[in-house]
Amino acid sequence: MRAALLIVLFAFLVAGCGGEETVSPTGPVVGTLPKAEEGNAAAGKAVFADNGCGSCHTFKAASSTGAVGPDLDEALQGKSADFIHESIVDPNKEVASGFSPNIMPPSYGTQLDSKQLADLVAFLQQGG
């Protein structure tokens, strides 16, 4: 009985050793991040207006002239959608030169749903 148990244990050990062969996934990798949602710039203009962004930011595409925060025509020029998204949901991560942290409310990441965020990012990227 003891010998049989040792044989089974040995078989499990040998089966667990894969040698030096590299194994690669053959299908889609579970747990990959979903593709970012496509935004609609026209809908993003309404998100910008409805959330009072223009009261703090100058942005020609929205005909806004706010001066509390950075001029978005300059600050966003050439910036990626990821940068713009992050600047909305985590505004203190990278603060524009000449501005203090904690001026922009950090709540837009939870206040806006994913579609509104995607639309706003599309609008800001198109106009910036």
Q: Please report the DSSP string for 115-127 in residue order.
A: HHHHHHHHHHHHH
pTM: 0.71
Q: Which positions of the chain have pLDDT values less than 70?
A: 1-36, 128
Given this model, what pLDDT does residue 14 score? 53
Given this model, what pLDDT does residue 26 score? 63
Given this model, what pLDDT does residue 37 score? 73
Reference 57, options 72, 39, 40, 38; nearest CA is 72
Given this model, what pLDDT does residue 90 score? 97
Given this model, what pLDDT does residue 10 score? 55
CA-to-CA dists, residue 58 to 44, 62, 89, angstroms: 16, 8, 19
Architecture of domain 41-127: Orthogonal Bundle (1.10)
Given this model, what pLDDT does residue 15 score? 55
**Do residues 37 and 115 touch, judged by C-beta distance below 8 A?**
yes
